[in-house]
Amino acid sequence: MNCIIALGNPGKQYEKTPHNIAWMILDVLFPDAEWKKNDYANAMLAAVSIPGYSDPVLLVKPLTFMNLSGSVIPFLAREYGVHNDLCIVMHDDLDVVFGKTKIAYGRGHAGHNGVLSIAQHFDTKDFLRLRIGVAKQLETGDVIKPNVLGLFSKEDIESIQNQSVVIHDILKTILAEGKDVAMNKFH
C-alpha cells in the first residue's frame, strides 16, 4: 500500500508551527479523512482516495515527536507492506523558501532529524520526499531560517492553503505517473 508520512510534533502548542507544516497540509488536502489513533504504530492513520489514482493511500502522522518519526516504519511494513519505494515523506525544510516545495529522492537528511530517523528505519535514503519550504525570503533577497517551533502568522496559514493545491498536484502525479515524471514536471 502506498503511504504518505507527514512529519510533525503532537500537541496543541505545535499545531501551527513550521515543524508541523506537513500535518497542516494533509489536513487541508484531506479534510474528511477519518483519522484514527493506532497505539501499536504510535501514529494517527487514515486511508484516503486520491482522484486519478485507483488504490487507497495510507496517511500517517507519527506521534513520536519529530526526532523519532521513523519508529512508525516497522509497524507500517508489517501491517501494510509499506517499504521505501511505496512511501512519500512530507516535511518542513529550512533550505527551501516558504511557498515552494521540492521533490527529493535518495538524498541525505541535511540535518533534519525526522528524515534521518525515517532513513535509519528504512535502512536506506532511497525514498521520496516532499521538502516543504519554511525559510523566509526578505525583500532584499536574503533568506532567513525561522524557529521551527515558532508560530506561523495568520498570513502564512492562508498561504499554506494555496500551497496545498500545488502539493495535491504533485502527489497525484507521483502516484499516477511516477516519481520521475513528477520530478521533471515540478522542478
Q: Mind telling me the catalytic residues?
A: 19
Are 26 and 15 in contact, with CB atoms under 8 Å apart? no
CB count in 10 Å sphere of residue 21: 28
Are 83 and 77 in contact, with CB atoms under 8 Å apart? yes
